[in-house]
Each structure stands twice: as structure tokens, then as C-alpha cells.
Chains A and B, each alone.
Chain A
């Protein structure tokens, strides 16, 4: 029964959700919407489990003085402090303007978040350095395409390229914005074709996985044992 009941529930709920996509009638759409909204309740319980796990892992590490344990104190203090301020100081208005939790969010969390995000610029630079090392024909094509696209997207690119294309034998449609036209073609045709092929494949992967789960063929998520 440990396996049969979840399999049955998965099949029924999955079927209702699929039907909800094709049948707008309230007899189907209302239960489908209800099931979707009910997930919030399950998620709420999940956060309790997640929070308990977080405390358990880090408090144990602190008690054992594992490596870098002082940082774990900061994490636990941050978690408990923010939750306490939200629960006992701000109460239901914890998201209101001027609430202390909002102060914590705006002045501690948001700057740290922005700091992490800003690191992305440096990671892009280091990754681009590796990506554009031309060692094979494919890497060469990638580098040329990237160069054209990057230059073609700024006015300077066309300004620099125009003397090269300002000849009678160059077609008129290419003369005005040579790099801009080529980069647009790269983005619209080869890039878009590859992207759509990946998306179609991924969509079918989603459907196949969904079908396997709904039909109970894929049951690894039920866990081990009977």
C-alpha cells in the first residue's frame, strides 16, 4: 500500500491536470485549479522540514567544531534572528513599509544578493576567454559568429565595417548596416533553428517524463523499500 496509494494519487491528479488543459469547463478546471493551489499547503509543511534540517545540520556541525564552524553560527543566528523579528516584533505586517524584517531584507540581504550577482560579470569574462580559444574548426566558427554578433549589436560595429562593404558589387541591403544585418541573420536563422530544436526535444522530454510518472512506469520517486 505504501506504493499503490501514491501511484493512484499521482495517476488521478496527473489525469485531472492534463484534462484541465483541454477542458475549460468548470467541472474540470475548478478541481484542477484547486489541486494546483493546494500545493501551497504542502509546500508550507515542506518549509518546516527544510528549516529543521538546516538547523540540525548546522547545530551538529557547531557542536562538533567542524571546519569553519563560526560561519555556521552566523547562518543560524541570521535564520533565527530574522524569523524572530518577523514573528514577535513585526507580526502580520512583516512585509509592510518600515517593518524591521523589511529593513533586514533591504539593508542586509539585498546588498549581499547584489554582490553575488555582480560576480557574474567576472565569471562571464573568464568563461569567454576559454570559449573563444580557437583550437578546432567549430571553435573558430563560434568565435567568428560571436565576434560578428557582438560587433553587429553596437553602432560602432557598422561604422567600422562600412568602408569594407562600400563597393558597387556589395548588395545594397548589406551596405547600410553590414554587421547588423549579418548578426540579425545569425540570430534569426541558425541560432533560432538550434534553439527551437532543443526546445521541441525538451518539450517531448517533459511529456515523456510526465507520462512515465502518471502511468507509474517511472516510480523511483517513491523511494526504496516496500
Chain B
């Protein structure tokens, strides 16, 4: 397979070199053939092809039977050469080469719905020998649906149905009970404390761009946070690492002030672009913490190595700190250094908690129900695997 071959770069380069060397002097060698020149290896046979399923129509799997001379320790075969043509008569072009003992290859350089013919040649010190007949026509077709992702589709459809159902129920007046989360309650408490101390609130939306869903969730929460700070007339500072989240963050803070009924208190400079460079961003934030001494630090979003640097610096300033991330490796740092931590999905639920909007809260219930379904599937899967039934496991595997 091509992905296995790709991991053996130097070995493949060696094979290719050996093959090239075996070809290069072919004409000259014919003219001055020495009596002890080894004979070319016997031809490989049984070349078959199979369109790779569930792809965009660009790949073909090829398999053949090894040359009888391709024996372990033997040196009559150094590799195989794969040739491709648009017609059975050629012209043939070399597609790729593989080492001795390899009997399969994935050709990933095809055009969709085009016909191809393949031949395979064994190559050795004595020359090359082509397999007798060309295999073909091989036509790579594009699949409309990746059937290995059927389980994902099923769970996604179930999830969407549950979320939509509970949203509808919540809108109909049956708002589900939602347990309060200490971390989310602490956000308002932290802002209140900053107000009492007359100091700003520092909101950090993580160090990832807008294509990271944690950044999206954080920016949605920012609107609620900005609304509270506007209501309390407390300044907020939002340093942002990437330009697109920066523009959205500006809009969110403005939106928070408008929704709080205080559009005139919005300060465009409260949201600032810093740098997408990780430690330049850290330097800027720690500078803000140490110079301006915000009374509340809210770290909500995607964080990496900088998480502990920010949280520890913030801890040293005595600020109340609330963090939230779905990056599991950073959670311990936040748990240690912050007063409250939103763990994983709590970050995504925070906007629904803070807004209290029925439709958003209904969505939380739908997510919880899917978790129940996943737990059931995990238990059933364990039982079936123990009994030697692998159907469910296979269905859950994706490519």
C-alpha cells in the first residue's frame, strides 16, 4: 500500500536507484554482454486491480503474484516496476516502483472515470521482465457516500434530532432543568469583584484561529461577559491572537454593550490584536496582568503550553481566575492555578448557561441524551467483543 511505502522513503529511494541502474546501461550492456551476466528474473504474474472504495475516484489498488525468483535472501529480484498506459498497446509510463517481496501498491494519481491499463515488471541485476498481459481497463469511480462513515452519520443524525426535539420542547415552555456549574457562576462573581475593586476584567479567548470550535464558543461567551461588564460599567480587555477572531471579538463586545443598553460605554480599544505567535502573545498578556492588574482573568478557549504561564502569572497577581478549555492536556494546569475551571464540554455549554435562552438550554439536554446513547453503545460493544461478535466494532470504525 502506498501509505506503507511512503514510510520507507530511504528504502524506496534505494530500490528506485537500483532499478534505474539496472536500466541505464541496458543498451550498452547488450552490445558488450559479459558471459557471467545474470539472467533477468522470471516475470511476476496475476496482476489484478481494484477501484479503491469510498474515495473521490483518484486511486486504484494493484496486486500481483511475486516473481518465482523473488525469494528471501535471493538477489535476482531487487524490486518491481509498475507501468501504466491509456491503451493496452501503450505507450507505457512508469507509475512507481516497490521493493522486492512487495506484491501490492496503491496508485493515487488517477483521473476520475478514465480508463487505465497496468503492467508489472520484475527488476533485478540481470534486467527486467514484464508480466505477460496488461490488466485493464481499470476505471476509478468517485463514490457519492463514504460508507465507512455511516456510523458517524447515524450518530450525528440522532444527535441533531435529539437537540432539535429538546429545543422545540424548551420553546414550548418545558424548559429542562440545568444544574448550575460553579465555574460559570464564578464568571459573574469575578466580574462583580473587579467592579468593586475598580479594576478591569481580562478576557482571553485562547490562541487558536476561528477554525477552532473552542474559539467560536469562547467568542460567543464573550458577548455574555461583555454584557455583564457593560451593566456593571467595568472595563474589559480582550487581547486576541488572530485577526479574524479579533474582528469578531470587537463585534461581540460591542454587541454586549448594546444588549446591556449601554452602547455609549463601548470602547473599541478594549479589544486589541496582539500576535499569532504563541509566546509573543504570552509576553503581551503577562505584561497586561502585571501592569494593569486586572481583578478577574477569564481564560476561555483553546490553550497549549502557554496555559500555565498565563494562569501562574495571573495567580501571582491575586486575580480571581476562571478557565475553560477542551484541550485535555492543559486542564490540569488550569485546575491547579485557577479558582474555577470549565472542563471540556462545559466550555461549549457556557453560552447557553449564561444567556439562559430556552432554545440553547434545550440543546444541552439533547447532548446529554446522546451521551446516554454513547454509554449504552460502549457497554453493548464491550459485551459483543467479549462474546467474539465484531460487527458493531467494525461498523464504528471509520476511514
* Complex interface: stretch among A43-51, A90-98, A154-162, A165-173: A43-51
Residue with the greatest number of chain B CB neighbours at <10 A, chosen from A39, A123, A223: A123
B79 CB-CB contact with A under 8 Å: no
Chain B residues whose CB sits within 8 angstroms of the CB of A29 once the complex forms: 56
Supposing A210-B213, A220-B220 touch, asked if A23 and B345 sit within 8 A by C-beta, the answer is no
B244 CB-CB contact with A under 8 Å: yes
A199 interface neighbour in B142, B282, B344, B371, Cβ under 8 Å: B344
Supposing A220-B223, A221-B220, A221-B252 touch, asked if A42 and B244 sit within 8 A by C-beta, the answer is yes
Given A201-B345, A221-B216, 17 further pairs, Cβ under 8 A: A23-B146, A24-B55, A24-B146, A25-B56, A25-B143, A25-B144, A198-B343, A199-B326, A201-B344, A208-B367, A211-B159, A220-B351, A220-B355, A223-B251, A224-B254, A224-B257, A225-B255
* Complex interface: stretch among B10-18, B23-31, B188-196, B330-338: B330-338
B273 interface neighbour in A51, A113, A224, A225, Cβ under 8 Å: A51
User: What's the nearest-Cβ distance from chain B to residue A30, in Å?
Assistant: 8
User: What's the nearest-Cβ distance from chain B to residue A144, in Å?
Assistant: 16
Supposing A26-B112, A130-B336 touch, asked if A123 and B308 sit within 8 A by C-beta, the answer is yes
Contact of B272 with A204 in the complex, beta carbons under 8 Å: no
Residues of B195-227 at the interface with A, using a CB-CB cut-off of 8 Å, are: 209, 211, 213-214, 216-217, 219-220, 223-224
Give the A-binding residues of B (Cβ under 8 A). Answer: 54-57, 112, 142-146, 149, 152-153, 156, 159-160, 163, 167, 209, 211, 213-214, 216-217, 219-220, 223-224, 242-244, 246-248, 251-252, 254-259, 263, 269, 272-274, 277-280, 282-283, 291, 305, 308-309, 311-313, 326, 328, 331-333, 336-337, 343-345, 347-349, 351, 355, 359-360, 363-364, 366-367, 370-371, 374
Contact of B328 with A199 in the complex, beta carbons under 8 Å: yes
- For the complex, give the distance between the alpha carbons of A131 and B312 in Å: 12
- For the complex, give the distance between the alpha carbons of A220 and B217 in Å: 10
Give the B-binding residues of A (Cβ under 8 A). Answer: 21-26, 29, 39, 42-43, 46-51, 53-54, 56-57, 60, 67-68, 109, 112-113, 116-117, 119-120, 123-124, 126-128, 130-131, 195, 198-202, 204-213, 217-218, 220-225
List the A residue with the shortest CB-CB distance to B266. Answer: A224
Contact of A124 with B308 in the complex, beta carbons under 8 Å: yes
Chain A interface helix/strand/loop/mixed:
helix
Supposing A46-B247, A205-B367 touch, asked if A211 and B163 sit within 8 A by C-beta, the answer is yes
Chain A residues whose CB sits within 8 angstroms of the CB of B244 once the complex forms: 42-43, 46
Contact of A43 with B142 in the complex, beta carbons under 8 Å: no
- For the complex, give the distance between the alpha carbons of A26 and B355 in Å: 41
Contact of A39 with B167 in the complex, beta carbons under 8 Å: no
Chain B interface helix/strand/loop/mixed:
helix
Chain B residues whose CB sits within 8 angstroms of the CB of A218 once the complex forms: 220, 351, 360
User: What's the nearest-Cβ distance from chain A to residue B396, in Å?
Assistant: 13
The 10 closest A-B pairs by CB, nearest first: A205-B348, A46-B243, A224-B258, A224-B255, A201-B345, A50-B273, A50-B243, A202-B326, A116-B279, A223-B251
List the B residue with the shortest CB-CB distance to A71. Answer: B287
User: What's the nearest-Cβ distance from chain B to residue A186, in Å?
Assistant: 14
Contact of B283 with A208 in the complex, beta carbons under 8 Å: no
- For the complex, give the distance between the alpha carbons of A47 and B240 in Å: 12
A21 interface neighbour in B149, B219, B280, B351, Cβ under 8 Å: B149
B255 interface neighbour in A127, A211, A212, A223, Cβ under 8 Å: A223
Chain A residues whose CB sits within 8 angstroms of the CB of B248 once the complex forms: 221
Contact of B360 with A67 in the complex, beta carbons under 8 Å: no
- For the complex, give the distance between the alpha carbons of A60 and B343 in Å: 39
B305 interface neighbour in A42, A51, A112, A117, Cβ under 8 Å: A117
Contact of B144 with A223 in the complex, beta carbons under 8 Å: no
Chain A residues whose CB sits within 8 angstroms of the CB of B216 once the complex forms: 209, 213, 221
Contact of B246 with A49 in the complex, beta carbons under 8 Å: yes
Chain B residues whose CB sits within 8 angstroms of the CB of A68 once the complex forms: 291
- For the complex, give the distance between the alpha carbons of A213 and B254 in Å: 19
Can you report 13 A-B residue pairs in the complex whose CB atoms are below 8 A from each other? A23-B146, A67-B291, A68-B291, A123-B309, A124-B308, A195-B328, A218-B220, A218-B351, A220-B223, A220-B252, A220-B255, A223-B254, A225-B258
